[in-house]
Amino acid sequence: MTDGQVRDAYAARATEYTRALGSLEEMHDLDRRRIQRWAEDIPGRVLDGGCGPGHWAAFLHEQGVDVEGVDLVPAFIKSARTRFPDVPFRVGALDRLDVPDRSLHGVLAWYSLIHVPPEELPATLSAIARALVPRGRVLIGFFESATAEPFPHAITTAYYWPIEQIRHLLNQAGFTVLDIESRRDPGQRPHASISAAAHCQ
């Protein structure tokens, strides 16, 4: 699955997606608390990578975080700029962040890596690691399963990941895993999130 294919699939349904999932009211309360706790002790600039309609970037901005939203889909960025004019947004990708090395204090990748093919995920995590200052934080949200495998997501092909495999890939990319959360809500795919800190080099 290429960036272009993911971009086009979301662009075709951007208005529908924003209406259904583009507000905090549609998000799980535990996710809001998780992201808020993660951001509390981050002292500098944060990138919301794969920000979609921009609601999580706006949420972080409301918490006083210096945040920028980045997404592949121009329609998402255009909508986010209109809905949240006080938050900066731009078109971009997590594997090409277009920021100097060691310039970010945090990267939120909340369900924005789910369409990355397994063979490409290590390079994407390494790109995130390069952009972070030593001890900079990343928070990843994803669909959890016992094996890494594709499934027919409503927009385009996505992937389940085992928690231990994501932990291993983060370690290889230059991170130390700090904490892990998971849950299984009735009628929903299993959820997991991992917070990690970039190694000091």
Number of domains within the chain: 1
Q: How many CB atoms lie within 10 A of CB 146?
A: 12
Spell out the residues 6+ positions from residue 135 whose beta carbon is closer than 8 angstroms to its own: 197, 198, 200
- How far lies 20's CA from each of 5, 53, 58, 66, 86, in Å? 21, 10, 17, 27, 23
- How far lies 132's CA from each of 62, 106, 155, in Å? 22, 7, 30
Residue 109 forms beta bridges with which residues? 140
**pLDDT by residue (tens digit) across 159-200?**
999 999 999 999 999 999 999 999 998 888 999 999 999 987
Sign of the dihedral through C-alpha 154, 122, 174, 176: positive
**pLDDT by residue (tens digit) across 14-38?**
677 677 666 777 788 999 999 999 9
Instruction: Return mean pLDDT, the chain.
Output: 91
Structure tokens at 95: 């594997």
pLDDT band at 3 (very low <50, low <70, confident <90, very high): low
Position 1 scores a pLDDT of 54
Give the residue numbers spanning the domain of 10: 3-198
In this structure, what CATH number is given to the domain that contains residue 140?
3.40.50.150
**What pTM value is reported for the model?**
0.93
Interior/surface letters 36-67, b for 16+ CB within 10 angstroms, e for the rest:
eebbeebeebbbbbbbbbbbbbbbbbeeebeb
**pLDDT by residue (tens digit) across 93-147?**
998 899 999 999 999 999 999 999 999 999 999 999 999 999 999 999 999 999 9
Residue at token pair 């981050």: 42
Spell out the residues 6+ positions from residue 54 whose beta carbon is closer than 8 angstroms to its own: 22, 48, 69, 71, 76, 77, 79, 80, 81, 83, 84, 87, 89
pLDDT band at 156 (very low <50, low <70, confident <90, very high): confident
Query: Of 170, 164, 118, whose CA–CA distance to 144 is shortest?
Result: 164
As a whole number of angstroms, the distance between CA 47 and CA 12 comes to: 25
